[in-house]
Amino acid sequence: MTATEFLEAVSELPGVSGHEAEVAVRIREAWEPLVDEVRVDPLGNLVALKRGEGPEPRPRVMIATHMDEIGFMVLSIEKGGFLRVAPVGGIDVRNVLAHRVRVQGRRELVGYLGMKPPHLTTPEEMKKPVPMQDLFVDVGLPEERVRALVEPGDLVVRDQRAVRLLGGRLAGKAFDNRASVAAAYHALGELTRRRHRVDVLAVATVQEEVGLRGATTSAFGVAPDVGLAVDVGFARQPAVEKDRSAEAGGGPALALGPNIHPEVFRFLVERAKAEGIPHQIEPAPGQTGTDAWALQVARSGVATGLLSVPLRYMHSTVETVDARDLEATGRLLAAAVSGMDPQWVRGLNQ
């Protein structure tokens, strides 16, 4: 199975922050044949261990890729059976109106995020974004049936199948950040054919979209010597500034800034050049807002790097990636792990 095929399958599963179990099962099925051990920790992070060669204790390298997605939670059931919802994570109201969703009640219900018809909307209302509190879901059932099947607190997941575009591109939901989970899958496959002298711990983390929680707890439990976070970054598109984005198809963007250990950054660039892997540089002058932040400050501090897969239309249901970037990111992760000298890793922490 290619990284693209893996992403197609895993992106369509429901996995709103805090409820990632179904996604974790699918990821485990794909990762397990490629590693030595797999476990799920108390918070729900999926932790896969691939042992290296050489005497123990070996340095530990953690690859963090979050598997949760943004979504909604039911707040109340209104007259007529309409569901009032609130966001879980960074929902942009502009791109969810009239979208199909799945309500995860006592049984799953398909519905749509309703909207006021434009014919009844005043000119003043047309100038303003729809307030979040005005969002509602219509599942088409009478109120009494809705109340029998749905309760406040039930989750609402965006419903979107992945679509293959021309030029090797793929569009769908939850590519933030299951595109990076797919890159990690590609890396683990590469590492079955490469020798490495460090232990690799690939972690599909939970609850990144609501505060980096899974990376915080798993980094404490794993206690890595080096952390490599993989997330998505902004790809070039209209209205996105060139100096804040990367080129789709140009390979992973390697972050450089206070959230990143400079030696890890230099090492990633060296490995990419040595193996002819396309890559880009991403200036990150502040907090990156990724699992890299949680990794860096875990325990007494972890030497951390960040690879970003270029992504268009982030936090929408048409997030778009280039298959070449998935594979290049996976190749660079594998090249970095296989090229790590245990002595160099230990030197980062002295």
* CB neighbours of residue 286 within 10 Å: 8
**Nearest CA among 231, 218, 217, 245 for reference residue 184:** 231
pLDDT at 125: 81
pLDDT at 115: 85
Q: Which CATH number fits domain 3-69+173-348: 3.40.50.720, 3.40.50.300, 3.20.20.140, 3.40.630.10?
A: 3.40.630.10
**Does 321 or 243 have the greater pLDDT score?**
321
CA dist., res. 289 & res. 286, Å (int): 9
pLDDT in tens, 200-241: 999 999 999 999 999 999 999 999 999 999 999 999 999 888
The pLDDT value recorded for residue 111 is 98
pLDDT tier, 130 (very low <50, low <70, confident <90, very high otherwise) = confident
List the 280-283 sheet strands across, edge first: 37-40, 46-50, 199-205, 60-66, 226-234, 303-311, 253-256, 280-283
CATH number of 71-158: 2.40.30.40, 2.90.10.10, 3.40.1030.10, 3.60.70.12?
A: 2.40.30.40
209 is in an annotated binding site: yes
Q: Secondary structure of the chain in the HEC alphabet? A: CCHHHHHHHHHCCCCECCCCHHHHHHHHHHHHHHCCEEEECCCCCEEEEECCCCCCCCCEEEEEEECCECEEEEEEECCCCCEEEEEECCCCHHHCCCCEEEEECCCEEEEEECCCCHHHCCHHHHCCCCCHHHCEEECCCCHHHHHHHCCCCCEEEECCCCEECHHHEEEECCHHHHHHHHHHHHHHHHHCCCCCCCEEEEEEECCHHHCCHHHHHHHHHHCCCEEEEEEEEEECCCCCCHHHCECCCCCCEEEECCCCCHHHHHHHHHHHHHCCCCCEEEECCCCCCCHHHHHHCCCCCCEEEEEEEEEECCCCCCEEEEHHHHHHHHHHHHHHHHCCCHHHHHHHCC
Q: Is the pLDDT of residue 350 over 80?
A: no
In the block, tokens 């039930």 appear at 154
pLDDT above 90: residue 179: yes
190, 208, 282, 327: the active-site residue? 208
Q: pLDDT at position 339, please?
A: 98
| Owner of token pair 């340095």 | 59
Q: What is the pLDDT of residues 152-162, one digit of tens each?
A: 999 999 999 99
Which band of pLDDT confidence, cut at 50, 70 and 90, is reported for residue 173? very high
Band of the pLDDT at 312, cuts 50, 70, 90? Answer: very high
**CA-wise closest residue to 335 among 260, 256, 254:** 254
68-83 pLDDT, tens digit each? 999 999 999 999 999 9
**Per the annotation, does 186 bind a ligand?**
no
Q: In angstroms, rounded to a whole number, what is the distance separating the alpha carbons of residues 100 and 161?
A: 11
Whether the predicted pLDDT of 19 surpasses 80:
yes
For the segment 257-278, what is each residue's pLDDT rounded down to a tens digit? 999 999 999 999 999 999 999 9
Task: Answer whether residue 131 shows pLDDT above 90.
Answer: no
Task: Render pLDDT for 39-75 as a digit per residue (tens, 0 to 9).
Answer: 999 999 999 999 999 999 999 999 999 999 999 999 9
pLDDT tens column, 297-309: 999 999 999 999 9
Contact predicate 165/312, CB 8 Å: no
- Check whether 176 is labelled as a binding-site residue: yes
Has 231 been labeled as part of a binding site? yes
* 117 — pLDDT class (breaks 50, 70, 90): confident
Q: Is pLDDT at 170 greater than 80 in this prediction?
A: yes
Phi and psi angles of residue 102, each rounded to the nearest 5 degrees, phi first: -120, 125
Model pTM? 0.96
Q: How far apart are CA 85 and CA 296, in angstroms?
A: 35
> Mean per-residue pLDDT for 308-326?
98
Residue with tokens 């249901």, as numbered in its chain: 317
Q: How far apart are CA 105 and CA 103, in angstroms?
A: 6
208 catalytic per annotation: yes
By CB atoms closer than 10 A (0-12, 13-18, 19+), residue 247 is middle
Q: Please state the domain extents for the chain.
A: 3-69+173-348, 71-158
- According to the annotation, is 5 in a ligand binding site? no
Hey, how many other C-beta atoms are within 10 angstroms of the C-beta on 51?
A: 14
| Res. 119 pLDDT band, cuts 50 70 90 | confident
Mean pLDDT of the chain: 97
The CA-based diameter of the chain, rounded to the nearest angstrom, is: 72
What mean pLDDT do residues 95-117 have? Answer: 94
